[in-house]
Amino acid sequence: MPHPISAFGAGHTILSLATIAAGLYSFARYQKIDSTNLSAKIYLTGLVVSVLTSFGLSSTGGFNAGHALGIVALIAVSGGLLVPRIGILGRARRYLSQFAFTFSFFLLLVPGINETLTRLPVSHPLASGPDSPLVRGALAAWLGIFVLGSILQFLWLRLYRSRA
């Protein structure tokens, strides 16, 4: 039987889903997470709150890999916000900034994929744990999507330099 979800966990999950939706909207509408757009502001705020609330949750009873990924996502977002201010990086600033935001989105979904597959459906979860072949396969597919998406985003940014 999977671990039951608490009210705090349900709130964290709802917030995380809204954060993912805002990130997906930004990618679909703008092909990037642009911190000046409302959807990106919602994504960035949601990511910070989602990571912070994750520290109140743990199916293992303490600090876990999901918490570590959250910290790395916060560092990535901080870098994405800071890089545009570093003049010495020149034209690479926009690419590095967008890569950082895209990487944060990738990291946000890694624990989400694991938790979803090991908790749903509630009566008989699809996977038994993070070492399950289904979880590993889903994460490998997500990594492939991230790599391909990052390449496409880089090409799009290069092609449409005047827009950004």
The residue with greater pLDDT, 121 or 21, is 21
As a whole-number percent, the residues of the chain with pLDDT over 90 amount to 62
- In the numeric block, which tokens belong to residue 94? 């926009």
The residue with greater pLDDT, 72 or 6, is 72
How would you class 116 by CB atoms within 10 Å of its CB: exposed for 0-12, middle for 13-18, buried for 19 or more?
A: middle
Average pLDDT estimate for 140-151 = 96
Is the predicted pLDDT of residue 84 greater than 80, yes or no?
yes
* Residue 122: inside a domain: yes
Average pLDDT estimate for 11-29 = 93
* Spatial contact of 18 and 47, defined as CB atoms under 8 Å apart: no
Query: Under DSSP, is residue 1 helix (H, G, I), strand (E, B) or coil?
Result: coil
Q: First and final CA of the chain: distance in angstroms?
A: 49
Tell me what pLDDT residue 95 has.
93
Is the predicted pLDDT of residue 72 greater than 60, yes or no?
yes
- In the numeric block, which tokens belong to residue 116? 């979803």
Is the predicted pLDDT of residue 79 greater than 80, yes or no?
yes
Is the predicted pLDDT of residue 51 greater than 90, yes or no?
yes
* Spatial contact of 112 and 9, defined as CB atoms under 8 Å apart: no
- In the numeric block, which tokens belong to residue 51? 């990571």
Average pLDDT estimate for 124-143 = 92
Total domains present in the chain: 1
How far CA 41 is from CA of 44, 73, 79, 99, in Å, comes to 5, 15, 15, 17
* Residue 30: inside a domain: yes
How would you class 15 by CB atoms within 10 Å of its CB: exposed for 0-12, middle for 13-18, buried for 19 or more?
A: middle
* Residue 133: inside a domain: yes
Average pLDDT estimate for 54-78 = 86
For the whole prediction, is pTM greater than 0.95? no
Least confident of 3-7, 66-70, 90-94: 3-7
- Cα–Cα distance between 61 and 53 in angstroms, integer? 15
In whole numbers, what is the pLDDT of the chain averaged over residues? 89
Q: The domain containing residue 71 runs over which residues?
A: 7-159
Average pLDDT estimate for 143-149 = 96
For the stretch 118-121, contacts whose Cβ atoms lie closer than 8 Å and that sit 24 or more positions apart, written own/partner, are: 118/2, 119/2, 119/3, 119/5
The residues, any chain, with a CB within 8 Å of residue 144's CB and separated by 6 or more, are: none
